Amino acid sequence: MGRKEKPLSFTPNANELGRRIRERRKQLGLSEIQLAVRAGFGNSGRSYISKLEHGQIQNPEKENLYKIATALEVSPEYLLYGPGEPERSPTNNGMGYWEQGLRWQEY
C-alpha cells in the first residue's frame, strides 16, 4: 500500500478471494486489525482487509496479496485459486510459481 506496485496480470474472482481470506483469518482467530498489523499494513490497513474480504477490490497488488498470504500462513496460490488445504507445502514452503514470477506480469 502506499507506493505504486505491480498489479496482478489477471483478475481473480474477488468474492472467492475475499471468502478465503476471511475464512482463514477466522480459523486463526484474528480480527481484521490483527491481520492488517500482522501483514505489515498497520491499524489503518483494516479497511483494506475489509474491502478485500467483501470483494470490493478487483485486482489487488501482488505484494499486498503476498503479505496477506504470509500473515495467514498460506500460499498465495491458495488465496487466488482455492481448492485444497490452505496449508503450506513442506517442500516448497507454499510458494510454488509465485516466487518464480510465472503468474505475475513483470514491468
- Can you tell me the mean pLDDT for 32-60? 94
The pTM is what? 0.71
Q: Classify 1-100 by CATH class.
A: mainly alpha
66 with 98: CB under 8 angstroms?
yes
pLDDT in tens, 66-77: 999 999 999 988
The residue extents of the domains of the chain are: 1-100
Q: Is the pLDDT of residue 17 over 50?
A: yes
